[in-house]
């Protein structure tokens, strides 16, 4: 959410930012906010004047009563009553206007970083850098569920009977590999100085609206019927929510946390063949990283966060690339975002396995997270990034470590988490 001062002082900059995000229908919201803000400030000025008059007349009443001038005092009391009624109306209107302004402000997108390329959607994202050499073996690579089935490692049919489409059973070596990747990612981030955390897997609505836009919430979140609780779509939600309504001492920054959680997502819409199996699902597990820092440090932390994911994947012999998200592909709260994509030898292209985002002070403003420094209070910047999210990450892992005989190599980094195994051998 933007600071209202930015809209007051630079409405055209806000409108231009909206146009860069191709959300032309939101341009009118800027003028609506300005009109409501002007009305709100005029109403507040009137309320302040009425309070001053009431206090003044109240003092006069006390003086008249001490002087025994009861009739004059009673006349003044009538004036106070009239002012009180008008003041109550102003105060009620003040709350109504504030709520109207907040609702509109929640859907006006954040100002994107000048370095963000302008584009309509994810087809116009820009490749930044590649890490590792993408290779295509001289043997055919099966679809990822077929690879897993060779290890008796997945059961989609039973999952459909139990929970419906978009769920899965992982078993045996594949289930163990899944857990190994999560455990390795946890220790990888701890070794890089992050504090490990297991957060709540459900959050209240005020946290939901604090960390994401309404459009994202509707598309992603599952609500618990009859309660003010939502299942998290990513642990970033509850991790940033940890600081809601808090005033943090400046010396406590940066807050660098890495969290494990299951994630639950609606994933509405039809999906193509490449998004079946365990690629796009309703439930998965993820290791996340978040940072709360001084505004001047957020660019540095942004680069550190995506580099962590790149380094993790390279340690498992998976080629990756970074992709700068264009303006039209950025969620409303994001200032800048980079996707990390892994190489798929079967598809002969890259696909997304993580996303790193700088949200500026948008989440902090919504959640009322403040920092107390030497020069007063200010809003921190918040950032988040995927460390690893199996089982999607397993697709890249299995394809890039598959051998012609159907076995799968286990990179050295993962072997301590796989009982020392150097290779997984199929049973079918």
The domain segmentation of the chain, as residue ranges, is 4-105, 122-424
Domains 4-105 and 122-424 agree in fold = no
Copy the structure tokens of residue 38: 């002007």
pLDDT score, position 49: 86
Give yes or no: 355 in active site: yes
Give the pLDDT means over successive 10-residue stretches in the chain (428 positions): 92 97 96 96 90 75 75 71 82 93 94 97 96 95 95 95 93 96 98 98 94 81 94 95 97 98 80 67 95 98 98 96 97 96 96 96 96 96 96 94 97 96 94
d(CA 85, CA 366): 33
d(CA 369, CA 251): 15
Copy the structure tokens of residue 251: 């010396």
Catalytic one of 276, 280, 314, 415: 280
In 3-state terms, the chain is what percent helix, strand and coil (to 5)? 45, 20, 30
pLDDT score, position 273: 53
Q: What is the CATH number of domain 122-424?
A: 3.30.930.10
Give yes or no: 370 in active site: no
pLDDT score, position 277: 81
pLDDT score, position 96: 94
Give yes or no: 352 in active site: yes
pLDDT score, position 171: 96
Angle of the 70-105 helix axis to the 27-66 helix axis, nearest 10? 160
| 4-105 to CATH, choices 2.60.40.10, 1.10.600.10, 3.40.50.720, 1.10.287.40 | 1.10.287.40
Task: Determine how β-strand 370-373 pairs with β-strand 247-249.
Answer: parallel
pLDDT score, position 220: 86
Catalytic one of 186, 321, 370, 392: 392
Q: Which of 273, 338, 353, 351 is nearest to 307 (CA)?
A: 338
Give yes or no: 265 in active site: yes
d(CA 214, CA 220): 10
Catalytic one of 238, 355, 357, 370: 355
Task: Determine how β-strand 408-409 pairs with β-strand 320-324.
Answer: unpaired
Catalytic one of 54, 265, 321, 346: 265
Catalytic one of 39, 53, 60, 352: 352
CA dihedral 397, 324, 285, 157 (to 10 degrees): -70
């Amino acid at each position: 959410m933007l600071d209202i001062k930015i809209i007051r002082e630079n409405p055209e900059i806000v409108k231009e930012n909206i146009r860069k995000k191709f959300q032309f229908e939101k341009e009118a919201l800027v003028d609506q906010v300005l009109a409501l803000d002007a009305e709100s400030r005029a109403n507040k000025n009137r309320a302040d004047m009425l309070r001053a008059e009431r206090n003044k007349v109240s003092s006069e009443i006390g003086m008249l009563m001490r002087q025994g001038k009861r009739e004059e005092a009673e006349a003044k009391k009538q004036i106070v009553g009239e002012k009180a009624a008008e003041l109550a109306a102003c105060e009620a209107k003040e709350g109504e206007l504030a709520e109207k302004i907040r609702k509109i402000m929640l859907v006006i997108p954040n100002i994107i970083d000048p370095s963000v390329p302008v584009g309509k959607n994810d087809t116009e994202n820009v490749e930044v850098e590649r890490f590792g050499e993408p290779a295509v073996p001289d043997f055919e690579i099966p679809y990822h569920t077929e690879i897993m089935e060779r290890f008796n490692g997945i059961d989609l049919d039973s999952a459909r009977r139990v929970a419906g489409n978009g769920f899965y059973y992982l078993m045996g070596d594949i289930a163990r590999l899944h857990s190994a990747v999560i455990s390795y990612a946890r220790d990888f981030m701890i070794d890089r100085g992050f504090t490990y955390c297991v957060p709540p897997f459900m959050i209240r609505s005020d946290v939901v609206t604090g960390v994401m836009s309404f459009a994202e919430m509707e598309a992603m979140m599952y609500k618990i019927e009859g309660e003010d609780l939502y299942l998290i779509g990513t642990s970033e939600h509850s991790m940033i929510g940890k600081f809601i309504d808090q005033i943090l001492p400046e010396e406590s920054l940066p807050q660098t946390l890495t969290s494990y959680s299951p994630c639950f997502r609606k994933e509405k819409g039809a999906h193509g063949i490449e998004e079946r199996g365990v690629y796009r699902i309703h439930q998965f597990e993820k290791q996340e990283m978040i940072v709360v820092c001084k505004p001047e440090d957020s660019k540095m932390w942004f680069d550190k966060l995506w580099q962590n994911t790149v380094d993790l994947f390279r340690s498992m012999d998976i080629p990756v690339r970074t992709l700068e998200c264009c303006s039209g592909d950025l969620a409303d709260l994001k200032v800048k975002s980079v996707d990390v994509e892994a190489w798929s030898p079967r598809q002969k292209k890259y696909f997304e396995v993580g996303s790193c985002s700088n949200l500026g002070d948008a989440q902090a403003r919504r959640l009322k997270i403040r920092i107390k420094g030497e020069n007063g209070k200010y809003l921190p910047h918040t950032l988040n990034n995927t460390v690893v999210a199996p089982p999607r990450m397993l697709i890249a892992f299995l394809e890039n470590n598959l051998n012609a005989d159907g076995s799968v190599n286990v990179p050295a980094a993962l072997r301590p988490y796989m009982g020392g195994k150097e290779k997984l051998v199929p049973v079918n």
